[in-house]
Amino acid sequence: MLWLALGAIQPGSALAQRIPFPTPIPPEVGTVGTVPASPALPGPANAPIGTPGVTPSIITPGAAPPGTVVGPPLAPPSLALGSPSVLSPGAGAAFQGTIQPPPSWDPYATPDVGPSPLLPADPYLPWGNPFGSTSPMIKLMREIRLDHHWLADSGSEGLGVNETETSVTFAFPFLYNQQTPLLVTPGFAMRLWDGPVTTPTSPVDMPGQTFDAYLDAAWNPQLAARLSAELGARVGVYSDFSKVATESLRIQGRGLVSMAFSPSFQVKAGAIYLNRNHVKLLPAGGVVWTPNTDTRFDIIFPYPKLAKRITLVGQTEWWYYLRGEYGGGAWTVKRGTGPRRGLLDSVDYNDLRVALGVDFRRNPGWRGFFEVGLAFNRELLYFAEDNPAIPEPMSRFKPSDTVFLGGGIAY
């Protein structure tokens, strides 16, 4: 009876069929750089094509093949501490080579919407983007210019001068900021002197020419929303080139701080280091006021300028202006006459200038100006370089006031 009861409750072949539930794919240690293979689907749909008695079927996405018992969804494999981070069952596609994608790479991202690999923000660049965002390129050569001024030899104590100066300004990115680049300007100037006339009571003379060869650097950083600065330094050789000594080398500088109280009104304050023999340092400052787009007042000592726009022809603006300047310079020269003949002296030339002129501006493009003015309060001061015991200045000459013409062009 017992055997009959056991035979009665024994399940048939249909009840004894095992229902396949998907299970996590066990990790395979030792293979790096592979991806897990998809689990095989049960039933004839997974039989290779060409197997006798099996007809290939098209499986609609989202629908299970006929005869397949649908179980719970695949559970992601759990990664225990210390287990490999990349699963490799061996049957998956191998990622060849040693170059791995960056951690931020998303294989499921929409194609062709990522950043271009030519931009600094590209995630594949190891250095990233030091600027935080892309910035426009700056122009290397910012300006090339040529200026000339002619001071007439007039009056009983006449002194004529022809001043010619040329320079080129280059812009370089500085401190990761392309909006305020470092401006580097090599320049050269020549002055041709006409006079003064030497007399026994006035042993003054100037060589036929003096020269300036300099390298200037300027930086105008924006310190805050309303606060900015204008910084600069210049080193050069100033001589008649008959003899160049250590005294011929001069270092100059400038520094101003600007506070903007409104878009049209600023206040500036600072100093200019001229490093001449008689005048070493000058205070600088004032206000900049632009009441409208056609008017600008730069009331800044020692270079004030008031400008008014006349007209606009095409893309060229025409302005007229009234300006002032503390002019002059300092050079080492070889004396040609008097008791200092053949010796090296330093000479300062100082004057005050006021000019009325017209300039044009085409942005970008050519710029230029033409002006006529008056030079007054002129003086030549001589200093002995080889004998500090000689009182300074050892001689002084005051040329007559004179008119001047000036012009220049820049691109």
* pLDDT tens digits for range 374-403: 999 999 999 887 776 677 777 788 999 999
Q: Quick check: 343 pLDDT over 50?
A: yes
Contact 193, 161 (CB under 8 A): yes
Report pLDDT for 55: 47
**What pLDDT sits at residue 12?**
46
> pLDDT band at residue 102, thresholds of 50, 70 and 90?
low
> Rounded to two decimals, what is the model's pTM?
0.66
CB 285 within 8 A of CB 270: yes
Residues found in the chain:
411
CB of 261 closer than 8 Å to CB of 268: no
Count the neighbouring beta carbons within 10 Å of the beta carbon of residue 257. 15
> In the chain, what is the straight-line distance between the N-terminal and C-terminal CA atoms, in Å?
118
Q: d(Cα 65, Cα 85) in Å, to the nearest integer?
A: 33
How many other CB atoms are there within 10 angstroms of residue 336's CB atom? 14
DSSP secondary structure letters along 107-125 = TTSPTT-SPPTTSTT-TT-
For residue 250 the two structure tokens come to: 């001069």
> Over the Cα atoms of the chain, what is R_g?
42
**Higher confidence at residue 105 or residue 123?**
105
CA 380 to chain centre: 41
In the predicted structure, residue 149 carries a pLDDT above the cut 50: yes
> How do strand 305-313 and strand 295-301 relate by DSSP bridges?
antiparallel
Residue 279 confidence (pLDDT) above 60: yes
Q: Which structure tokens are listed for 236?
A: 């050069």
Confidence (pLDDT) at 365: 87
Beta strands in 134-248 (DSSP E): 141-151, 160-174, 177-194, 209-219, 227-239
Closest CA to 278 of 158, 157, 391, 160: 391
For residue range 363-378, what is the model confidence (pLDDT) as tens digits?
A: 778 999 999 999 999 9
Q: What is the structure's pLDDT at 174?
A: 85
Domain spans in the chain, listed from the N-terminal domain onward: 141-410
> pLDDT exceeding 70 applies to what percent of the chain?
64
Single out the residue of 182, 181, 168 nearest to residue 135, CA to CA: 181
Check pLDDT > 50 for residue 118: no
Using omega within 30 degrees of 0 as the cis cutoff, is the peptide bond preceding 117 cis? no
382/230 Cα distance (integer angstroms) = 32
Per-residue pLDDT at 232 exceeds 70: yes
Specify the 3-state DSSP secondary structure of 139: coil
* Residue 333 neighbours by CB under 8 Å, 6+ apart: 206, 207, 210, 239, 240, 242, 344, 345, 346, 347
Residue given tokens 């008959």 in the structure block: 242
Distance CA 79, CA 322 (A): 80
Q: Is the pLDDT of residue 96 over 60?
A: no
d(CA 359, CA 145): 14
